[in-house]
Chains A and B, each alone.
Chain A
Amino acid sequence: EAQVTQNPRYLITVTGKKLTVTCSQNMNHEYMSWYRQDPGLGLRQIYYSMNVEVTDKGDVPEGYKVSRKEKRNFPLILESPSPNQTSLYFCASSLGGGGAFFGQGTRLTVV
């Protein structure tokens, strides 16, 4: 089954404690992205990747890092989380133009 898998689904952490949200896709897609969803703002792109070792900033990259060492994986790293990063996060992958496939979402709370 074609899917994008994110883990964990829910995460509560404390300010400053590094965390990683994993993302994996099994569709051999070149393009992958991370979005955050906040009430009244829709989804906004954090980072994207066009292929292995090729990543770049989206609209709201501050406080986040990513890496793309393998085509299927695209982890999101928060090295020093802050309360304003409390949000719903989505990983997405696509071939190009056909619309993105989204993961199940990760609800992150930073206290």
Chain B
Amino acid sequence: AQTVTQSQPEMSVQEAETVTLSCTYDTSESNYYLFWYKQPPSRQMILVIRQEAYKQQNATENRFSVNFQKAAKSFSLKISDSQLGDTAMYFCAFNLISNFGNEKLTFGTGTRLTIIP
């Protein structure tokens, strides 16, 4: 079974600074996807960024980028120029496409990020 670990339950950073959220995962498979989801106080789950395991290039989406280290099974999220709207719970998630086609996301326990004005 796959597991996802987020070792930072809470973090805070000053507005406009850069912050990095950590995520490690465990799998014996080689083909999978990794995601970061954001959950603001509205509770909506919002996809922030996606990384395919077969791609060596790290994904970027505007101020959000990842550091994907496949051998180390590490997938950290970097938020640059942080904004008040970035305050949210962030979940790391793993998606293994099994032979039975279950689009199952395995989630970490989340990191609560607070941006301080």
Residues of A within 8 A of B (CB): 31, 33, 35, 40-45, 48, 50, 56, 58, 88, 90, 92, 94, 96-102, 104-105, 107
Contacts and interface: CB of A to CB of B under 8 A. Distances in A.
- Looking at chain B, what size class is its interface with the partner chain? 20 to 34
B55 interface: no
B104 A48 contact: yes
B28 interface: no
Contacts of B46: 102
Interface of B: 4, 33, 35, 42-47, 50, 52, 91, 95, 97, 100-105, 107-110
Contact of B45 (A44, A90, A96): A90
Given A42-B110, A56-B100, A100 B105 contact: yes
Contacts of A107: 43
A99 B102 contact: no
A43 B108 CA distance: 8
A90 B103 CA distance: 14
Given A31-B103, A42-B108, 6 more contacts: A43-B45, A44-B107, A99-B47, A99-B95, A100-B105, A102-B44
Nearest to B34: A99
B104 A58 contact: yes
A102 B90 CA distance: 15
